[in-house]
Structures are given as C-alpha cells and as structure tokens.
Amino acid sequence: METFKLHILGCGAALPTPHHFCSSQVVNIREKLFMIDCAEGIQMQLRRSRLKFPCINHIFITHLHGDHCFGLIGLISTFALLGRTATLHIYAPQGLKAVLQPQIDFFCQGMEYTVELHEIDHRSPQTVYEDRSVSVTTIPLRHRIPCIGYFFQEKPTLPHIRRDAIDAFHIPISQINNIKAGMDWTTPEGDLIPNRLLTKPADPARSFAYCSDTLFTPQNAEQLHGVNLLYHEATFLQEHELLARKTFHSTALQAAQFAQLADARQLLIGHFSSRYKGETPLLNEAKSLFPNTLAANEGLCIPVV
C-alpha cells in the first residue's frame, strides 16, 4: 500500500511546555510532505523526526493565532539558508499576507526561492490543493478568529495486476496498463479472460481530517463521513465544557462525539491544555464514547489505514 502517514511534531495548546510543543503535524502521502500548522520551534522537531525539509512544499495554517504559526518565519529562513529553490506554498485565512510578508521582506532578503501566500475563504469547503494522488479540501471550523480545518483525501487508484495470471496467460507487458484500466484479455486461441481474473481490487482511498481549533461543530460530520483518521482538538475535559465554549474549543468527549457522528475509523486527540498534568484523563474520556482513540504525542507517527 502506498505511504500515507501522519507525524506529530507538536500537540500542546496555547502555551508551549516542557512536555509539548504547540500545534504542528506533517502528513506524508506518497513521500510528499504536507505540513499543517507551524508552531514555534517546529523546525527543530522536524529535524528530530528526520523528515526531509526539501519534501515540504505546502504548509496549511488553520488560523493566525501564534501557537499555530510562530514557527513559519524561522522555517522559511532556514529553507533559505539550506539553499532551497522550489516555491513554498502557504495557505491560511485572510491576514497571512499582512503579517508574514513584511517579515519575509525584512529577514530573508536575497533568498533564492519564492514563498507564495494563499489566503483562503474560511466560510465554506473548497479544494485548495490537488495533484494526481491527493486533494486537500477545507473544513469550516468555528473559533474566535477565522479558522480552517483540512481534509486530505487520497484519489482512487487503479486495481493491482495479478502477476501469476499475467504469466499464466502469457500476456505481454505492453498490455498491463490496459488491463489495469479494466480491459479483458483474449488469448490467441480466442478465449476471453475476464478482467476480474487478472486483477485484484485497488486499495481503498484513504483520508485524514484535521479539526483544530474549533467548537464542537456537528454539521461538519457529513463532509468527513467515513474518514480513516480524524485529528480533533480536545483542549479540555467535559467538566470544563463552559470554558471550552467560552474560548471556542472542544472537550475530549465532544471530539469523540464528532468522531462517532462522522463515522471515523480512528480518532486522534490533541491540543491539550497545559492545565492538565497528563493526557490520560482526556484520552479516557474520549475512549469512553469512541474506543478507537489515540492521544497525540510529539514524535508519534501514525499510519492512515
């Protein structure tokens, strides 16, 4: 199966602590690396993770609170020092250009690559990135300032060739692509070999959704229906639900409710408030409703299956 996995670089909330960096993740889809959020210090985390800097061409920022974007200028600057030439695309809600471009102009004079800043309308889902293997669609979140989630969907792939059948029927290599595309095979003797004997079904297309920071927003569940891996913020315990509502965050129980509504295969919670000593109570709360839940942690790498 093709690579599709998630690396956690940071999963704390507003304040970095000795235990958690602030929000940042890298999604590896077929060795293309997509970064989501970019907190302070994330470039050091990136080095520790041994992810390859030059494979990052797209950074998706959920919103312009410091704990989700203070690492951008350092990363941009390091890319320049490493001699990068490929264009870097950064996606974020409106405000990105006003706050980031002057910093780039000041600190990164004479750099040899371009940073392209894309300001995205946060109000309704739209596809902001697409290549032949993946699309990225926005998810309208509800936070104190405009905030966007991101939905990574693998595109359907062609079926697998059955090597044993190809050999048995002496089918020439030149026909492999046709057979992958669905063609049956007729032997020199005139026998028709149906395509289903020559192929195995394609791997199912997988998906990953990132929902942080946000109020519990059940109306988004439909868009993400059947998502393989759902990252949902769980800043607070349910006992602090009022505080969650006041600050436009979710509780661990609400993250689980959302996973259930979206019929997610697996839930990953993060964006843990520094008020809690450990993540176990948050994890247990989510698991009580949605058993297939994991707690994010720096250095964790999770295959999307």
The amino acid that residue 215 corresponds to is: L
State the minimum distance, in angstroms, from the CB of residue 235 to its own copies.
14
Length of the chain counted residue by residue: 305
State the minimum distance, in angstroms, from the CB of residue 40 to its own copies.
4
Is 67 a catalytic site residue? Answer: yes
Q: What is the rounded distance in angstroms from the CA atom of residue 83 to the CA atom of residue 81?
A: 5
State the minimum distance, in angstroms, from the CB of residue 44 to its own copies.
5
Q: Does 21 bind its own copies (CB under 8 A)?
A: yes
Each residue 170-189 as x (binds its own copies by CB under 8 A) or -, in order, gives --------------------
Q: Which stretch binds its own copies (CB under 8 A): 14-22, 131-139, 205-213, 256-264?
A: 14-22
**Ranges within 43-102 binding its own copies (CB under 8 A):** 43-44, 47-48, 64-66, 70-71, 73-74, 77-78, 81-82, 95, 98-99, 102
And the tokens for 208?
């990953």
Q: Does 303 bind its own copies (CB under 8 A)?
A: no
> CB-hemisphere CA count at 13 Å for 217?
21
**Ranges within 25-44 binding its own copies (CB under 8 A):** 40-41, 43-44
Say if residues 288 and 261 touch (Cβ distance below 8 Å). no
| Nearer to its own copies among residue 74 and residue 125 (C-beta) | 74
Q: Which of 67, 167, 213, 263 is catalytic?
A: 67
State the minimum distance, in angstroms, from the CB of residue 261 to its own copies.
32
Q: What is the rounded distance in angstroms from the CA atom of residue 196 to the CA atom of residue 118?
A: 44
State the minimum distance, in angstroms, from the CB of residue 281 to its own copies.
22
Q: Does 147 bind its own copies (CB under 8 A)?
A: no
Each residue 99-128 as x (binds its own copies by CB under 8 A) or -, in order, gives x--xx--xx---------------------
Name the residues that contact its own copies, by CB under 8 A: 14-18, 21, 40-41, 43-44, 47-48, 64-66, 70-71, 73-74, 77-78, 81-82, 95, 98-99, 102-103, 106-107
Active site amino acids: 67
